[in-house]
Structure 1
Amino acid sequence: MDLLARHFANLLCAEKKLTFKDKEGAEFSFSGTKLPRRRKLILSALKAKKCLEKGAVGYLVSVVDLTKEAPRMEDIDVVRDYPDVFLEELPGLPPDRATEFVIDLIPGAALVSKAPYRMAPTELKELKVQLQELLDKGYIRPSISPWGAPVLFVKKKDASVRLCIDYRELNKLTIKNRYPLPRIDDLFDQLQGAKVFSKIDLRSGYHQLKIKEGDIPKTAFRTRYGHYEFLVMSFGLTNAPATFIELMNRVFHDMLDTSVIVFIDDILVYSKDKETHVKNLNAALQRLRKEKLYAKFFKCEF
């Protein structure tokens, strides 16, 4: 800044021009190149799809105003009538459902039992905490199963860690569930003409589905602090996504591709106008209430 002041510099940002003067008053200038203003390019969904098919890379971006106050449930029409759907914590073990998580093994499969992985002292401390949380919620119980998978921690985006069970060996022995996962482009096709949307994110979706009683011992895992098994569906099991999609399709079967699309534990309610959307959102939330499925309010958008 001192250099600019000494030489009486004059900067015209709009013209991309910087002018200096010497002591005798002589001037000399530097000018940047003026580029033509770019025309905004808007592609139709069909053209964008063709570009993607030809190998173009697409980015889906959403803009969020962080200065706005977080919405409150009581301020949102329809949603305020369903506080029992948006609980802060799951109320315990899920009810019995028509869909259960099963682990069918290939013929002749031998059981898997591996020693626990080594952990740092800080990880062991966190392990104690997370095991106790799972026990308190009733998601796991002490086990005497001959099966046993090791555990490890995985970092989340917020720098906290999630306890994960290394089910890779069990997954190799599991018969794969061929229930079809929805194609993203097919889901987008259903949204043509829709103008009003609501996104519902289920709270710990996998933990809202029980494991078949006879398959619970196969989920056993070993830790420094004991041997446990899951009563609810756990992350890392090979057929978990397909089973959850099956559950969601059962729940919303008559609403799919007319007012609702689902992808694992994410639900999108869509409509052509606000009046219809009130009815569609009501119907979706009533279905969640009836099936005792719970959502995470702060991750939903209405």
Structure 2
Amino acid sequence: MIYPIFLPKREIDFSVDLLLDTQTIYIPPYRMSPTELKEFKKQLKDLLDKGFIRPSISPWGSQLLFVRKKDGSLQMCIDYRQLNKVTIKNKYPFPRIDDLFDQLQGASYFSKIDLRSGYHQLRVKENDILKTSFRTRYGHFEYLVMSFGLTNAPATFLNLINKVVRQYLDMFVIVFIDDILIYSRSEDEHIDHLRTVFQILNDQQLFAKFSKCEFWLRSVAFFGHIISSKSIEVDPKKMDVVRSCPRPISHSKII
């Protein structure tokens, strides 16, 4: 099996375990607009060049879709809803928000690390690769790395990162899926904490997206809240979303 050359063998691989008697799922590709086709060619080449996907002869096949991002650009995604329905769910526990906030009491310095395309840093088990396949006008492809949209992807990635930084969890590190929050009481502590986390990520060959990382913050947006040494408050941007919701005009709009 040839995986992306940069991708090391990790303690955890992503698996797609199915319910008993599951039948092969195949959904024909939908018709793309000229704009989508142009964007698809570009993103397809990028995924192939990186070794994240390869041509497939799998009998499985989910549908490829495009979603429009906030900046107006198109993002390719795979509609795995039918596959997710027959996938045995990973019950790995997600952290409670109130427990995480308790750990931040007294912290004055914060840094937030966003792992670059985090899911693509984890291999798919060889026997499960065929289940990740998707069909398009330009061929049939399958993922060698964990793809967005798969039901157990968040839990699997959280499990991996928790294992990697376990000895520092609730000391100066908080993890939520592909976000790592480092918190410290003093500048000197924060320097040491950052060095420790950077060394772990380097040793584990886990890559961060620098443009989305934030360092040496005195307050940080996390879990829909603004956190500082003085308080933990609801992010005003989240409140604006609630306030801007149209007033319901029927019972069905409320339920």
| Aligned partner of 1:140 among 48, 53, 58 | 53
* Aligned AA (1:199): K
| Aligned partner of 2:107 among 194, 198, 201 | 194
2:9 maps to which residue?
96
* Aligned AA (2:141): Y
* Contact residue 153 and residue 161 of structure 1 kept, 8 A: yes
Superimposed CA distance per residue, residues 214-247 of structure 1 (whole angstroms, 9 cap, x where no aligned partner): 1000000000000000000101000000000000
Distance in 2 of aligned mates of 1:179 and 1:135: 31
1:181 maps to which residue?
94
User: Could you say which structure has the larger radius of gyration?
Assistant: 1
* Aligned AA (1:204): S
* Aligned AA (1:212): K
1:288 maps to which residue?
201
Which one has a larger percent helix, Structure 1 or Structure 2?
A: 2
2:229 maps to which residue?
none
* Aligned AA (2:189): T
Alignment of 1:42-53 (within 5 A): none
Residue 185 of structure 1 and its aligned partner are, at CA, apart by 2.0
How well do the aligned residues superpose, as a CA RMSD in angstroms? 1.0
* Contact residue 93 and residue 139 of structure 1 kept, 8 A: no
* Contact residue 196 and residue 277 of structure 1 kept, 8 A: yes
1:113 maps to which residue?
26
Residue 275 of structure 1 and its aligned partner are, at CA, apart by 1.0
The share of aligned pairs that are identical, in percent, is 64
* Aligned AA (2:175): V
Alignment of 1:51-90 (within 5 A): none
| Aligned partner of 2:70 among 157, 171, 176 | 157
2:201 aligned with 1:255, yes or no? no
Distance in 2 of aligned mates of 1:187 and 1:117: 43
Distance in 2 of aligned mates of 1:260 and 1:283: 10
| Aligned partner of 1:126 among 39, 46, 52 | 39
Q: Look up the SS of the partner of 1:154 in the other structure.
A: strand
Distance in 2 of aligned mates of 1:183 and 1:241: 15
TM-score normalised per structure 2: 0.81
Number of matched pairs: 212
* Aligned AA (2:16): I
Q: Look up the SS of the partner of 1:162 in the other structure.
A: strand
Distance in 2 of aligned mates of 1:300 and 1:227: 35
Q: Look up the SS of the partner of 1:238 in the other structure.
A: coil
| Aligned partner of 1:211 among 96, 115, 124 | 124
Superimposed CA distance per residue, residues 41-72 of structure 1 (whole angstroms, 9 cap, x where no aligned partner): xxxxxxxxxxxxxxxxxxxxxxxxxxxxxxxx
Q: Look up the SS of the partner of 2:65 in the other structure.
A: strand
TM-score normalised per structure 1: 0.69
* Contact residue 93 and residue 137 of structure 1 kept, 8 A: no
| Aligned partner of 1:171 among 70, 84, 89 | 84
2:230 maps to which residue?
none
Which one has a larger percent strand, Structure 1 or Structure 2?
A: 2
1:27 maps to which residue?
none
**4+ residue segments displaced more than 2 Å:** none
